């Protein structure tokens, strides 16, 4: 926990969390990164809370063994299901960051007393975690949430900026659940890939809030506060997956901006 040279562990159900990993590498280029994509259990959005908690503990064990000073849960579904448990489990061994709290701070500062929307997986929306956190910080923002379970698989399959994606996005966003909103939270780390299409649907009249940059900034603030910034150059970055396919590797370009070499690391043998 107190070693600034320790890597930053980041995990997601698959490669969607690479959007967060990318923002982190842009803001903190000296940091070593170990990314874990639990592709064997993708998608998390339709799994039970207990299953996601079990996967998260296994992944945290792996990241701790590799000496990670921080673990970033780069997945809304896992953040809603397993953050509290992981904090208890990991205790003093590493800091834990989720993708929800930095967004709560951001909307509290910029959209007080407004109506805003949220889209995410079934797991995230059913958990009600965003409303709960807003209540906890005493915010009177009115949140209108809609589960959009087709979007993550659609993106994983490479369907975006296409006629199919336009139609699915339009169908979801036309829902009366999301009427008259000032901003829309993309509560799934896959969705930055369709941010432009969503913005176009609203004719740029609704602010689209993607958590990758606010999470990277929250991580930087945390590292500075704990004197854990790595100032040594020549960082290393590793990308592990629990199930390897060439198509995952090819898709990393979409989420990270370049093709990454993925290493297979099975969680259960």
Q: Which residues are catalytic?
A: 75, 188
Binder of ligand DGL out of 21, 23, 184, 188 (CB under 6 A)? 188
Indicate whether 45 belongs to the interface with ligand DGL (CB under 6 A): yes
Q: Which of 52, 23, 24, 18 is nearest to 37 (CA)?
A: 18
Binder of ligand DGL out of 12, 31, 101, 197 (CB under 6 A)? 12
Options 56-64, 188-196, 197-205, 226-234: segment touching ligand DGL (CB under 6 A): 188-196
Least gap, CB of 233 to ligand DGL (angstroms): 31
By beta-carbon distance, which residue lies closest to ligand DGL?
Answer: 45
Options 39-47, 54-62, 107-115, 219-227: segment touching ligand DGL (CB under 6 A): 39-47
Site string for ligand DGL, 80-119 (x = CB under 6 A): ----------------------------------------
Binder of ligand DGL out of 7, 11, 13, 184 (CB under 6 A)? 13
For residues 263 and 29, the answer to whether their CB atoms sit within 8 Å is no
Structure tokens at 129: 């975690």
Indicate whether 124 belongs to the interface with ligand DGL (CB under 6 A): yes
Nearer to ligand DGL, 6 or 210 (CB): 210
> 3-class SS at 76?
helix
Nearer to ligand DGL, 9 or 43 (CB): 43
Residues engaged in binding ligand DGL (CB under 6 A): 12-14, 16-17, 42-45, 75-77, 121, 124, 152, 188-190
């Amino acid at each position: 926990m107190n070693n600034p040279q320790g890597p930053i562990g980041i995990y997601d159900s698959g490669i969607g969390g690479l959007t967060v990993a990318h923002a982190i590498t842009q803001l903190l280029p000296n940091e070593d990164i170990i990314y874990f994509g639990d592709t064997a259990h993708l998608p998390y959005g339709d799994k039970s809370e207990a299953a996601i908690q079990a996967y998260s503990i296994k992944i945290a064990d792996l990241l701790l063994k590799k000496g990670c000073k921080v673990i970033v849960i780069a997945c809304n579904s896992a953040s809603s299901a397993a953050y509290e448990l992981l904090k208890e489990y990991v205790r003093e061994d590493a800091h834990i960051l989720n993708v929800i709290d930095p967004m709560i701070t951001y909307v509290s500062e910029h959209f007080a007393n407004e109506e805003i929307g949220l889209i995410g997986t079934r797991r995230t929306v059913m958990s009600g975690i965003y409303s709960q956190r807003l209540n906890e910080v005493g915010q009177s923002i009115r949140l209108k949430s809609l589960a959009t379970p087709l979007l993550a698989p659609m993106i994983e399959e490479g369907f975006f900026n296409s006629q199919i994606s336009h139609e699915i996005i339009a169908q979801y966003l036309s829902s009366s659940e999301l009427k008259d909103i000032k901003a829309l939270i993309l509560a799934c780390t896959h969705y930055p890939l369709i941010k432009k299409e969503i913005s176009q649907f609203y004719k740029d009249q609704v602010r689209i809030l993607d958590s990758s940059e606010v999470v990277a900034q929250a991580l930087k603030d945390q590292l500075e506060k704990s004197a854990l910034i790595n100032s040594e150059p020549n960082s290393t970055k590793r990308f592990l997956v629990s199930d390897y396919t060439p198509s995952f590797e090819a898709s990393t370009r979409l989420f990270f901006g370049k093709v990454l070499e993925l290493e297979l690391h099975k969680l259960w043998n």
